[in-house]
Homo-oligomer: A and B are copies of this chain.
């Protein structure tokens, strides 16, 4: 088991990062995340750069203080959101020009600016800016893109080191991001190029974007042979519970995914069926709005769990949660979010032991 040392705590791997996109895990406060026992959250550079803006974040001395979070914080580079959310964007060697999805204002996100924002946020784990390639890109274009991502990674590292002393969080780590689509050779080549630059950890980007799971797993298996054994590896944006088990078996240490929180808000609840994670049916997902739960008295907590969140969840029944979703009470989304994060964090705990 690897242990990541950050200025905001030591993180035992493998771990899962709840997503606090805009400085809050949806429906939850930092107090709730503490009670859940998650040692780390992930926040989004693109969103926080636009709102509240860096003037506010600077005034508070970083995102930790702004949202009163004392655990570790990983921030993405903003690249993924620029490529998926921004209205207009133009990619050049310098960076990516985009128009805000909120007010249409024009911005230029460069590797240097992304690092500067993340250092202002006071991130514990900073990500380099990479180009997020569409799944249907030709191999020629993909190669060119990956080469640019390598050059951006070099610039990111230089900017990271230059800005370190003035940052809101001395002692932060910088992670490179391996791209290359589902082309194994390109993936390996890119990993090697990034390792030459040298990073504190290596993320695998551009997966969990619609490709079959088996294809993603092949990439992960190939990279398991190449990436340094002593550095953490971060699978970006995935995945389902059984996929996470498979990725961990193949060397992945870190995950972030909207699945537990987004699905919770739609009433889809994950729960353990049995303890044998080697069998794919160790979990199930249920639709809480189903008639089946109308009279169900079972509590929302796992038996024997007595952490603060479980104590709260143990007060309410599946029938009550179903009712809250049926009448569209936000409390339902909140309780379901707590349940699914308990499940994902519990899954990681089982995988660690």
Contact = CB atoms under 8 A, between A and B. Distances in A.
A134 interface: no
Contacts of A47: 327
User: In this complex, which of A317, A324, A326, A330 has the most chain B Cβ atoms within 10 angstroms of its Cβ?
Assistant: A330
A26 B23 CA distance: 22
B52 A316 contact: no
Interface in A40-56: 47, 51-52, 55-56
A24 B30 CA distance: 23
Contacts of A209: none
B56 A319 contact: yes
Interface in A187-225: none
Q: How large is the interface on A (under 10, 10 to 19, 20 to 34, 35 or more residues)?
A: 35 or more
A139 interface: no
B52 A319 contact: yes
A26 B295 contact: no
Interface string A296-340: 010000000000000010011101101110110111011100000
A333 B26 CA distance: 12
A331 B24 contact: yes
Contacts of A67: 316, 320
Copies in the complex: 2
A185 interface: no
Contacts of A317: 60, 66
B31 A312 contact: yes
A330 B333 contact: yes
Contacts of A26: 329-331
Contact of A68 (B29, B315, B329): B315
A297 B47 CA distance: 21
27 contacts: A23-B320, A23-B324, A23-B327, A24-B324, A24-B329, A24-B331, A26-B330, A27-B330, A29-B312, A29-B315, A29-B331, A29-B335, A31-B312, A51-B323, A51-B327, A52-B294, A52-B322, A52-B323, A52-B326, A55-B295, A56-B319, A56-B323, A59-B295, A66-B323, A330-B333, A330-B334, A334-B334
Interface of A: 22-24, 26-31, 47, 51-52, 55-56, 59-60, 66-68, 294-295, 297, 312, 315-317, 319-320, 322-324, 326-327, 329-331, 333-335
Given A26-B329, A59-B295, A330-B334, 11 more contacts: A26-B330, A27-B330, A29-B335, A30-B315, A31-B312, A51-B323, A51-B326, A52-B294, A56-B295, A56-B323, A334-B334
